[in-house]
Amino acid sequence: RDYINSQGHKMNKGKVGNTHIFNEKALKGFTDFVFIPEGELDAASFYEIGFNACGLGGQNIRRMTAAAKRQKPAKSLVFIIVLDNDTSEQTAATVGNNADDLKAELNNLGYTAAVIKDFYDGHKDANEYLCSDKAGFTNKCKQVIEELRAAAQSKEHQSEGQAADDQSEGQTAAA
């Protein structure tokens, strides 16, 4: 995270002070889908194109779990976890593990969560995607939401079918 500025001084691009969940209080009002990117600017990029988002303020997944406990959003809310496309293999592995861990923690709280890897189609993050291809970014968000809706409906139909099968087996056994 260090870099050399134009005057030749070594600078650090890291955040200073505590990080927080960007837009945490809005979790209470969300009922369908919320994108969970890493940064605040990335969350604002989702808002720019009309989608709900809360930024992690980095990769600290425990803060999102704590936010969900505090804000108690509707159980119908689906968390769509879309962390940055990091370039180094070590960082990418850490991000992947963090995304999977966050999904598991949200599932344990009774929420549906999906990790979408390679969401940004070669871009580093949401803001870069928005700045270079707003239409593509918008379409990608719509596509992911439609795929998640379709998967939920398919799962619902399978559950209904299983319940009907169980009921007919019970009626057959009673006859």
Q: Among candidates 121, 120, 132, which has minimal Cα distance to 35? A: 120
User: What average pLDDT does the segment 99-125 reach?
Assistant: 94
Residue 72 has pLDDT above 90, yes or no: yes
Is the Cβ–Cβ distance between 2 and 12 less than 8 Å? yes
pLDDT of residue 60: 75
Q: What is the dihedral of CA 156, 161, 166, 170, to 10 degrees?
A: 130
Q: What CA–CA distance (Å, rounded) separates 22 from 38?
A: 10
pLDDT at 97: 72
CA proximity to 106, closest of 56, 165, 40: 56
- Number of other residues whose CB lies within 10 A of the CB of residue 119: 22
Pairing of strands 78-81, 33-36: parallel
pLDDT band at 89 (very low <50, low <70, confident <90, very high): low
Residues 6+ apart with CB under 8 A from 35: 43, 46, 51, 52, 53, 54, 80, 82, 126, 141
Task: Round to whole Å and give the CA distance between 84 and 42.
Answer: 9
Q: Which two tokens stand for residue 95?
A: 């991000």
| pLDDT-based confidence at residue 119 (cuts at 50, 70, 90) | very high
Q: Is the pLDDT of residue 10 over 80?
A: no
| End-to-end CA, the chain | 72
Q: Is the pLDDT of residue 83 over 60?
A: yes
Query: Tens digit of pLDDT for each residue in 45-61?
Result: 999 999 999 999 887 78
Q: What is the pLDDT of residues 147-175, one digit of tens each?
A: 999 998 888 777 766 665 666 555 555 55
Which of 18-22, 44-48, 81-85, 168-172 is modeled with the greatest confidence?
44-48
Angle (CA) 127 102 32, round 5°: 70
Provide the pLDDT for residue 94. Answer: 56
